[in-house]
Amino acid sequence: MVGLAEQVLRPAIDAAVRAGSEMIHLEDPWLGYVGITREDWAPLTDALTILHRDLKATLAFHVYFGDAAPHIGQLLQLPVDAIGVDLVQTDVKALGSGWNKGLVAGVINGRSSILESPKDLVDVARYLADTVRPRNLYLSSNSELGYLPTVVAEQKVQRLGDAARKVKELVSV
């Protein structure tokens, strides 16, 4: 994991930042779905330390395809700027409050063609801002949208953008 971070991911991240990226969004489907052993937290932390060191962008580590709740305490200790959570699988009440990191809130379901209600998206975001109180709040899909029909994915992204703009008017996070 550390070698991959040094030799592959960090050069790719540096290139993305040079090209203007302001956020590096790493996604991990394994942790939420299968879990992680106590021994595996150290190499994950070491790898993320390499990626975060002197980075001129926000680094987010997003757990999707599963429940992040059992791991929230450990996730908040990782050397990243924001933690991403699949809120289709993770109960928002399990997130706690008073985060010292940003929250990438996976509020759009990338595994379903059903469109989310814009009002529900805004309500969830307001709840997260008021209750979890992350340093920053980023609205996102809970996973990639690549397996959805293009027209559905586009509509979901549009709703996500509309909700983000509405929340920004209501809450300053």
Tell me how far CA of residue 43 lies from CA of 3, 28, 49, 58, 102, in angstroms: 10, 14, 10, 21, 22
pLDDT, tens only, 42-85: 999 999 999 999 999 999 999 998 999 999 999 999 999 999 99
What is the CATH number for 33? 3.20.20.210
Q: Please give the tally of structural domains in the chain.
A: 1
Query: What type of residue sits at position 29?
Result: P
Model confidence, pTM:
0.93
* Statement: residue 140 has pLDDT above 80: yes
Domain extent, residue 112, equals: 2-170
